Structure formats: structure tokens, C-alpha cells
């Protein structure tokens, strides 16, 4: 039985989490995961798998600040991935990747489809990619 303090490489962690190793290193750099550098490799405690799952479930269920202030009846505008890609110079695949990496704000709508929140259009790292 694996121990919680067992260290995994980014590749091993990615395999368990069902993502690419590059995604794991991005998560470490952005603070979503805790990891340490051992030589040229990132080492991540196995216990971070549970932490990652908790953070993702909170992100999907937590209401954004605008809807908290305006009340539960106010729904922020959501765009499909295709609509958001058409408004930016990102491809649909790029939009999906940015959502999964946390670079865009998104959530699953009532039909179970992943959508992008309109507030993502105001993010500083996206402004230069907006179509005029």
C-alpha cells in the first residue's frame, strides 16, 4: 500500500492524475500543487492527488464573487468553447487547455457542458488575444 509521503516524479503523478507531465509542472509553478525539485526532476508527494481532487471540486462548485454579491439568482454569461475561440485568437483546443490549466475561468453548466465565464475576457494575460 503506497504511503502518503511517498514522492512521485511528474511523469508518475501525471499518470495517476490522468494528465500530461507538462500540466503537472505547470500546476506546481502556479501553486496548485506542492512539489520540490530534485536535480532536474520535480518530486510531488503522493498525498497531492487528494489535494488536487479537493481543489478541483471546490473550483467547480464554488460560486464566483460576482454572483455572491448580486445574489444566487444572477447568472454570469457563459460561452461555449467554440464561441470563446471565435472571440479570441485561441483555437478550441487551446481554450480547453487553458480552462484545464486554470488560465481561464470556467464551469460546467446544467447540461454538463464545460463553458467559459465571460469574466475570462477581462483577464490581463488574454487581452492581447482578443479579436477586435
Neighbours of 74 (CB within 10 A): 11
Question: Residue 8 is inside which H or E element, if any?
Answer: strand 7-9
Beta bridge partners of 114: 108
Based on the domain organization, do 45 and 69 belong to the same domain? no
- C-alpha distance from residue 23 to each of 14, 27, 31, 117 (Å): 8, 6, 12, 22
CATH number (domain holding residue 55): 1.10.1660.10
Based on the domain organization, do 41 and 91 belong to the same domain? no
Based on the domain organization, do 82 and 54 belong to the same domain? no
Domain of residue 9 covers 1-62
What beta strand segments (E) does the chain contain?
7-9, 36-38, 41-45, 78-79, 106-108, 114-117
Residues 6+ apart with CB under 8 A from 13: 21, 24, 44, 48, 49
Count of domains for the chain: 2
Based on the domain organization, do 27 and 77 belong to the same domain? no
Based on the domain organization, do 79 and 54 belong to the same domain? no
Domain boundary among 44, 62, 80: 62
Neighbours of 127 (CB within 10 A): 10
Based on the domain organization, do 132 and 68 belong to the same domain? yes
Residue found under cell 511517498: 6
Based on the domain organization, do 7 and 58 belong to the same domain? yes
Based on the domain organization, do 132 and 99 belong to the same domain? yes
Based on the domain organization, do 42 and 101 belong to the same domain? no
pLDDT at residue number 74: 37
pLDDT 10s digits, 86-131: 999 999 999 999 988 888 988 888 888 889 999 888 888 888 888 8
Based on the domain organization, do 69 and 55 belong to the same domain? no
Based on the domain organization, do 29 and 42 belong to the same domain? yes
Whole-prediction pTM: 0.45
- Give the closest residue to 34 by CA, choosing from 60, 7, 12: 7
pLDDT 10s digits, 34-90: 889 999 999 999 888 777 655 554 444 445 544 444 433 335 789 999 999 999 999
Terminal-to-terminal C-alpha distance of the chain: 55
Domain boundary among 43, 62, 81: 62
Based on the domain organization, do 51 and 70 belong to the same domain? no
Amino acid at each position: 500500500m503506497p504511503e502518503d509521503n511517498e514522492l512521485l516524479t511528474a511523469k508518475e503523478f501525471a499518470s495517476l492524475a490522468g494528465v500530461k507531465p507538462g500540466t503537472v509542472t505547470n500546476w506546481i509553478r502556479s501553486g496548485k500543487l506542492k512539489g520540490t525539485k530534485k536535480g532536474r526532476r520535480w518530486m510531488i508527494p503522493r498525498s497531492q492527488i487528494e489535494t488536487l481532487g479537493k481543489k478541483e471540486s471546490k473550483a467547480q462548485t464554488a460560486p464566483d464573487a460576482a454572483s455572491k454579491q448580486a445574489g444566487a439568482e444572477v447568472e454570469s454569461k457563459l460561452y461555449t468553447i467554440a464561441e470563446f475561440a471565435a472571440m479570441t485568437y485561441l483555437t478550441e483546443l487551446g481554450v480547453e487547455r487553458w480552462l484545464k490549466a486554470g488560465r481561464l475561468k470556467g464551469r460546467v453548466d446544467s447540461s454538463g457542458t464545460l463553458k467559459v465565464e465571460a469574466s475570462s475576457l477581462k483577464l490581463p494575460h488574454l487581452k492581447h488575444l482578443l479579436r477586435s
